[in-house]
Structure 1
């Protein structure tokens, strides 16, 4: 680092920085510590489950502040307290009040009489324009049925950075588009060594998005505040390493709030083993959501139902007997069993035909 003009530094000496400069490693931490000090002085308390969420409770209601780098969302039962918080922040920081929430980090939020709608239509159209997809051809689904991709398919793609850039953009787009989650999960596995075949299927996802750019998520005012979860797993579905895939989704009433598709880190020797690992993953997520809702003033006293279509996994999670064939996954089984006994979750069987989480494990038909 070069000393600023006008500062005479003797040879062999170093300068001590009294403030964190923008772009240095310590700058984000210094900014967050400064912001936390100001909002805590205003009566906010950081959530122990998410340090970027600050909560203020009073007889007039509850105020919640969400911080993402230097962008924030502020909501409250008391509009007067929102104005007070804005004034306090403006006294310390140079801020711009953008008014009611309508656009945040590329996500468009639209208010309707019966709920809220989240979409990334502008982001989608910008993505299509950036990658030059100007034709009007569309695809009915993000991925072909029963498609099996391998790392050795065809010749290496000539522009791997373009492939990685596109995959990264689609990963962020999947924040409001659960319909492309499975396709993005499959195609992102080849970002390190993509081929022309992989890139062709990536373009199919773009063609699908062209015809469905206005799709998004809707959160109804009439939705209940009860969590319900769905867990599923595919066994040895990866042709390259025979790894299984965990998939789950969680609803708050009728509103989809969490979904995930992820390859398991260890190789499962049976489908029941893969399902047990998926159950442990979704129990972790459900416990965190339960705690966040309590911070928001929404206590959940009844066990949260988790629906699974594997009778073997349900028996392993419910049976306290240590079996010879399941001792290598006993940690996941005991973790799930512990919370079943504590009545924080309840495991329920659901046939595969109506298993919602199955949507995230394989390519689907247009209906």
Structure 2
């Protein structure tokens, strides 16, 4: 059990009451929890899964020491029909499951892990090659950590993006967003959209809608924790058409399919 609180005295009081009722052991400050290593400093925390990542790399049985600079090769699109089926897909599925958990502290592999995870039902040799590329990237970045610092301002800001029709198997787009509190990355996601977007503006706007939902939830959560955000939360998007749709109160032909998302984002805007 992890106990937190505003003061050390409050934490001690709760701890003593719990120890008097339950058979518990005090392990001291948090250092390791479910494969996540925590290094605490006076004004920051470092979250890392280096030990877990090293175990995943060794589990793959790589015979070389090669590392790569990116988790996926540039412009690679994985098809469900490319390559030959794997004789035994068990190891592929086990490693992908491990990588999904590794994204808890490694946002840089979130997208490509999302891609290989969609192919676990019938993995092929090309998918295995892509998986090995991820593992070689992890080997080269195994000591990277996620910094959560209290030295920056409590300004919440978000970035949203989408790759229009990026999945070559069904031509659905992938939503990606990340949110920062100050300079600390606190939330991120990469997820395939549920419907096929017929324009890049539509795909980008759906990504904005998903990011908006996350913004609203985080603002509520921070409010419940006693963190009051008096300024609005900026949401950054690199698609001019999607930005104009958010500000335009008159719907036209190109926005009929995303009317609900339009209303949702405009309400909070």
Q: TM-score, normalised by structure 1?
A: 0.71
Q: Which residue of 2 aligns with 1:93?
A: 22
Q: Which residue of 1 aligns with 2:248?
A: 319
Q: Distance in 1 between matches of 2:241 and 2:46?
A: 39
1:105 pairs with 2:8: no
Q: Distance in 2 between matches of 1:314 and 1:264?
A: 19
Q: Which residue of 2 aligns with 1:153?
A: 82
Which structure shows the bigger proportion of residues in helix conformation? 2
Moved more, 95-104 or 84-93: 84-93
Q: Distance in 2 between matches of 1:331 and 1:259?
A: 23
Q: Distance in 2 between matches of 1:311 and 1:211?
A: 37
Q: Which residue of 2 aligns with 1:54?
A: none
Q: Which residue of 2 aligns with 1:272?
A: 201
Q: Which residue of 2 aligns with 1:198?
A: 127
Structure 1 unaligned blocks of 5 or more: 1-71, 341-367
Out of 187, 191, 209, which is 2:116 matched to? 187
Moved more, 152-161 or 166-175: 152-161
1:131 pairs with 2:40: no
Structure 2 unaligned blocks of 5 or more: none
How does 1:1-367 map onto structure 2 within 5 Å?
Answer: 72-133=1-62, 135-340=64-269
**Structure 1 residue 279, shift from structure 2 partner:** 0.8
**Structure 1 residue 91, shift from structure 2 partner:** 2.7
Counterpart of 1:257 in 2: which secondary structure?
strand
8 Å Cα contact 1:128/1:134 also seen in 2: no
Could you say what the CA RMSD is over the residues aligned between the two structures, in angstroms?
A: 1.3
Q: Distance in 2 between matches of 1:327 and 1:114?
A: 48
Q: Distance in 2 between matches of 1:125 and 1:258?
A: 24
**Structure 1 residue 134, shift from structure 2 partner:** 5.1
Q: Distance in 2 between matches of 1:116 and 1:259?
A: 18
Matched positions, count: 269
Larger-gyration structure (1/2): 1
Which structure shows the bigger proportion of residues in strand conformation? 1
Q: TM-score, normalised by structure 2?
A: 0.96
Q: Distance in 2 between matches of 1:247 and 1:104?
A: 27
**Structure 1 residue 180, shift from structure 2 partner:** 1.1
Q: Distance in 2 between matches of 1:78 and 1:332?
A: 42
**Structure 1 residue 144, shift from structure 2 partner:** 0.6
Moved more, 135-144 or 278-287: 135-144
